[in-house]
């Protein structure tokens, strides 16, 4: 059901420092910061030949990554995003196994303009999973 690894997301405590590290030290192609108010994050994409890294920084009072950064003060790997062909079919199959779909259960439009959903980390070996329909 799942396809390519679309991105690995890393929550960061200092976005400018992380941009400089990936761009100037690691020599990666790094996008401009993009505010995603519907998701409560500012996102920067680091483009690698085979996937992307998504640097996440909290946006607004109710950011879903606020608690994570309070616990992980140096930042940390926040989620992995797998591509799927049919996000509603994937959601329904996962729900039938008891996996918790976060939010109201309906896909939202993600940072690439495509529908996304999140699955509770406690139902996936402690890893927050994002599905993106491509
Ligand atoms: C723009 C878009 C895109 O790519 O297109 C994005 O990615 S937006 C990316 C940002 N959006 C999202 O993350 C949306 C989905 N996320 C959420 O709804 C939330 O972040 C939750 C995953 C439900 C966690 O919420 P919150 O931090 O308030 O819960 P909590 O502190 O009660 O945590 C409950 C338990 O889960 C653990 N926990 C929390 N976040 C975790 C994470 N990212 N990975 C692994 N474990 C995690 C906590 O340590 C805790 O474990 P213990 O009980 O053992 O201590
Ligand atoms: Co993501």
ipTM of the complex: 0.98
For the segment 43-95, what is each residue's pLDDT rounded down to a tens digit? Answer: 999 999 999 999 999 999 999 999 999 999 999 999 999 999 999 999 999 99
- Cα 30 to ligand 2 centre (Å): 16
Tell me whether residue 21 is exposed, middle or buried, using C-beta atoms within 10 angstroms of its C-beta: 0 to 12, 13 to 18, 19 or more: middle
Report the relative pairing of strands 108-109 and 29-30 from DSSP bridges. Answer: unpaired
Q: How far is the CA of 85 from the centre of ligand 2 (A)?
A: 17
| Per-residue model confidence as pLDDT tens digits over 117-128 | 999 999 999 999
How far apart are the C-alpha atoms of 62 and 28, rounded to whole Å?
A: 31
Write down all domains in the chain, each with its CATH number in brackets: 2-133 (3.10.180.10)
Say yes or no: CB of residue 30 within 6 Å of ligand 1.
no
């Amino acid at each position: 059901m799942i396809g390519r690894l679309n991105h690995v997301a890393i929550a960061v405590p200092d976005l400018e420092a992380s941009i400089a590290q990936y761009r100037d030290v690691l020599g990666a192609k790094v996008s401009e910061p993009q505010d995603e108010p519907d998701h409560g994050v500012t996102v920067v994409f680091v483009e690698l030949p085979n996937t992307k890294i998504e640097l996440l920084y909290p946006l607004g009072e109710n950011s879903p990554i606020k608690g994570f950064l309070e616990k992980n003060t140096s930042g940390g790997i926040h989620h992995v995003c797998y591509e799927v062909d049919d996000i509603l079919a994937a959601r329904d199959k996962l729900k039938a196994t008891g996996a918790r779909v976060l939010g109201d259960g309906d896909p939202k439009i993600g940072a690439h303009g495509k529908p996304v959903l999140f699955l509770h980390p406690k139902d996936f070996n402690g890893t927050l999973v994002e599905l993106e329909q491509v």
